[in-house]
Amino acid sequence: MPKLFDNYKGMPKGLYVICFATLINRLGDFVVPFLSLYLTQKIGMSAWATGLIVTISCVIGIPAALIGGKVSDMCGRKNVYVYAQSISALALIPCAFTKNVYITILCLLISTFFNGFIRPAFESMIIDMLSNEQRQAGFALKYLSINVGVSVGPIIAGFLFNNFLPLLFIGDAITSFVAVTLIIINVKETYVAGKSIKVEAEAEKAEKGTIIDVFKKRPYLLLFLLLYMVYCFIYTQNKFSLPMTMNKMYINQGAKFLGYLYSINAITVLVLTPFISAITRKKHQLTNMAIAGVVYAIGFGMIGFVNSFGMMVVSTIIWTIGEILSSISSGVYVANHSPSNYRARLNAIKSIGNSLGASLSTAVSGVYIQYYGVQTIWAFVFAISMMAALFMFLLRKSTHKAEN
């Protein structure tokens, strides 16, 4: 077991600080998971109005990510993270004290907007400080940090929501400021615009021109991002079609058994990520992504014909392996093929692809289920997963010679 964690040794100090700051951020991510409940139960908004606010909060994340990526590539990743995280946290504090609905909603939307700046900046900081060989392990460690925080945070948030509502906002803000302080003190700026950066691969050399010019020179990167969006489409089924399936299987107890499956998903991530990271460390990211597609096909596809909770557990473990492979490898591939002066913007586009894939997933699946039923959706997901895996494999084959 100790050798398993040797994979995470020898990283720059800044990476460990960033991962710890990420853990604290996710541990204190109290407001977002309970936003719809807060708007309906505590403020008394209608379901329609709540849906509109939640949708707006999702939509404004798209321009926020693009702006955050652009500014991170112009003004430095650390600067953008510190200011954006601080503004996002400050905007939550009035929500703890005001009873004015309009002020509360405005502050929540401001916080959500600046929160959209954070991911491109953070991802780019990690890429800047890691060598090509370290990136697989570095992204795996960041992924573990996220899941440790997410596994505990909602429990604390649920307690605060029911018993000490103002602390829901204050606690979220405090943990954000703790993370910001850690970064300010322990992490140096990783990128200064105009200053040459030593890179290990031709694909990472700084480029002139627009983002379109970058994609013209790297059509394989654009194709990868499109395929990644399909993978996000597939993965979102665990949040949309799976709940409906569990409700159909267990009638009045669907929510309880769904909760068990989500807990198994979280435990699987925490237990298997170090193993999978170590096993796949030397494999090409596109190979790992192709395997992830096949694993998604098996894990999600089998839901369409299993009829026992034990087999649903097996299914969950299988598709979670696909989640781990995709989460680690996708970030590394984009990192290894992004010009140093476009890293944040390309990470922003990847983040937007994630959101678009998830949005399309719920929209398309909703229509499909309406006409053909929830049980048949899994055959559809199986087919899409296998096609995505095939295209990812073909992308690997077509770029293998060029990369060598």
Query: Are 175 and 27 in contact, with CB atoms under 8 Å apart?
Result: yes
Q: How confident is the model at residue 403 (pLDDT cuts 50, 70, 90)?
A: low
Phi, psi of 197 (to 5 degrees): -115, 135
Which residue did the predictor score with more confidence, 58 or 88? Answer: 88
**CATH code for the part of the protein at 201-404:** 1.20.1250.20
DSSP state of 339: -
Which residue did the predictor score with more confidence, 99 or 404? Answer: 99
Query: Are 380 and 105 in contact, with CB atoms under 8 Å apart?
Result: no
pLDDT for residue 402:
60
CATH of 1-187 given 1.10.3210.10, 1.20.1250.20, 1.10.150.120, 2.60.40.1120: 1.20.1250.20
Query: Are 69 and 334 in contact, with CB atoms under 8 Å apart?
Result: no
Q: Residues spanned by CATH 1.20.1250.20 within the chain?
A: 1-187, 201-404
Of the spans 110-119, 149-158, 201-210, 376-385, which averages the highest pLDDT? Answer: 376-385
- Residue 32: is its pLDDT beyond 80? no
CA 172 to CA 30: how far, in whole Å? 6
pLDDT for residue 5:
64
Q: What is the dihedral of CA 340, 227, 115, 156, to 10 degrees?
A: -130
CA 111 to CA 114: how far, in whole Å? 6
- Residue 404: is its pLDDT beyond 80? no
Which residue did the predictor score with more confidence, 7 or 337? Answer: 337
Phi, psi of 12 (to 5 degrees): -60, 145
Mean pLDDT rounded to a whole number for the chain: 86
Torsion-angle region of 251 (φ positive above 0: left; ψ -120 to 50: alpha; else: beta): left
Nearest to 112 by CA among 92, 83, 82: 92
For residues 278-283, average pLDDT? 85
User: CA 397 from chain center: how many Å?
Assistant: 27
Handedness of CA 275, 276, 279, 282 (dihedral sign): negative
Nearest to 147 by CA among 281, 27, 313, 4: 27
Taking only the tens place, the pLDDT of each residue in 104-131 is 889 989 998 998 888 888 888 888 888 8
Taking only the tens place, the pLDDT of each residue in 186-215 is 988 887 776 666 666 777 788 888 888 889
pLDDT for residue 131:
83
DSSP state of 38: I
Of the spans 7-16, 44-53, 131-140, 309-318, which averages the highest pLDDT? Answer: 309-318
Ranking 4-13, 75-84, 93-102 by mean pLDDT, the lowest is: 4-13
Tell me the pTM: 0.86
pLDDT for residue 190:
83
CA 172 to CA 34: how far, in whole Å? 12
- Residue 265: is its pLDDT beyond 80? yes
Query: Are 245 and 300 in contact, with CB atoms under 8 Å apart?
Result: no
CA 245 to CA 248: how far, in whole Å? 5
Phi, psi of 201 (to 5 degrees): -130, 150
Q: Considering all CA atoms of the chain, what is the largest pairwise distance in Å, rounded to the nearest integer?
A: 62
Helix boundaries (H) for 44-131: 47-59, 61-75, 77-92, 101-115, 118-129
